[in-house]
Chain A
Amino acid sequence: MSADAPPPGYLAAEPGILAWFRTLDHKRIGLLYLFSITGFFMIGAAAAACMRVALLSPQGNLIVSDTYNRLFTLHGVVMIWFFLIPAVPNVLGNFVLPLAIGARDVAFPRLNLASWYIFMAGGALVLYAIAAGGVDTGWTFYTPYSSTYSNGHVMAMAAGVFIAGFSSIFTGLNFIVTIHRLRAPGLTWFRLPLFVWSLYATSIILVLATPILAITLFLMALERGLGVGVFDPKIGGDPLLFQHLFWFYSHPAVYVMILPGMGVVSELFACFARRRIFGYRVMACALLAIAALGFLVWGHHMFVSSQSLYAGLVFSLLSFLVSVPSAVKVFNWTATLHRGSIRLDTPMLYALGFVALFTIGGLTGLFLASLAVDVHVHGTYFIVAHFHYVMVGGMVMAYLGGIHYWWPKISGRLYPEWIARSSAVIIFLGFNLTFFPQFVLGYLGMPRRYAIYPPEFHTLNVCSTAGAAVLGLGYLLPLIYLPWSFFRGAPAGPNPWDATGLEWRTASPPPPHNFEETPVVTAEPYDYPPPP
Chain B
Amino acid sequence: MTSSSASATSSAREAEQSVTNRLGLWVFLATEVLFFGGMFVAYVIYRHTYPEAFRAGARLMEFGLGTTNTAVLLVSSFFMALGDRAARAGDRRQLRRCLLCVATLGVVFLGIKAVEYHSKFADHLVPGPDFSGTRGPLEIFMTLYFAMTGLHALHMLFGLGAISWLLWRNAGGRPVPVEPVAMVGLYWHFVDCVWIFLYPLFYLPGR
List chain A positions with a Cβ less than 8 A from chain B: 107-108, 111, 169, 172-174, 176-177, 180-182, 207-212, 214-216, 218-219, 222, 226-230, 234-238, 241, 245, 248
Contacts and interface: CB of A to CB of B under 8 A. Distances in A.
28 contacts: A107-B24, A172-B27, A173-B31, A181-B19, A181-B20, A181-B23, A182-B20, A210-B31, A211-B38, A212-B37, A215-B39, A216-B38, A219-B42, A222-B143, A228-B128, A228-B139, A228-B143, A228-B146, A229-B143, A230-B140, A235-B135, A235-B139, A236-B49, A236-B136, A237-B46, A237-B140, A245-B38, A248-B38
Contact of A212 (B30, B38, B50, B135): B38
Nearest to B33: A211
Given A173-B28, A173-B31, A215 B136 contact: no
A208 B41 contact: no
Contacts of B30: 207-208
A207 B31 contact: yes
A228 B24 contact: no
Task: Classify the secondary structure of B's interface with A.
Answer: helix
A230 B27 contact: no
A236 B20 contact: no
A230 B38 CA distance: 12
Given A208-B30, A241-B45, A245-B41, A236 B35 contact: no
B45 A238 contact: yes
B137 interface: yes
Contact of A107 (B20, B45, B135): B20
Given A228-B126, A228-B128, A230-B144, 18 more contacts: A111-B24, A172-B27, A173-B27, A177-B23, A207-B27, A207-B30, A207-B31, A214-B35, A215-B39, A218-B147, A219-B147, A230-B143, A235-B135, A236-B46, A236-B53, A236-B137, A237-B140, A245-B41
Contacts of B139: 228, 235
B64 interface: no
A180 B46 CA distance: 40
B127 A228 contact: yes
A208 B34 CA distance: 6
B15 to A, nearest CB: 12
B31 A169 contact: yes
A227 B127 CA distance: 8
B32 A180 contact: no
Interface residues of B, number: 36
A313 B139 CA distance: 34
B129 interface: yes
A219 B39 contact: yes
B154 to A, nearest CB: 11
Task: Classify the secondary structure of A's interface with B.
Answer: helix
B42 A230 contact: yes
Interface centre among B19, B139, B144 (most CB of A within 10 A): B139
A177 B136 contact: no
Contacts of B35: 211-212, 214-215
Interface centre among B37, B126, B146 (most CB of A within 10 A): B37
A89 B23 CA distance: 20
Contacts of B23: 176-177, 180-181
A206 to B, nearest CB: 9
Interface string B1-22: 0000000000000001001100
A216 B146 CA distance: 15
Contact of A236 (B19, B50, B147): B50
Interface string B33-74: 011111101100110011001000000000000000000000
Given A230-B42, A230-B46, A241-B45, A211 B31 contact: yes
B65 to A, nearest CB: 22
Contacts of A226: 128
Interface centre among A172, A209, A211, A216 (most CB of B within 10 A): A211
A271 to B, nearest CB: 31
A177 B27 contact: yes
Contacts of B136: 235-236
A501 to B, nearest CB: 24
A309 to B, nearest CB: 19
Contact of A222 (B36, B135, B147): B147
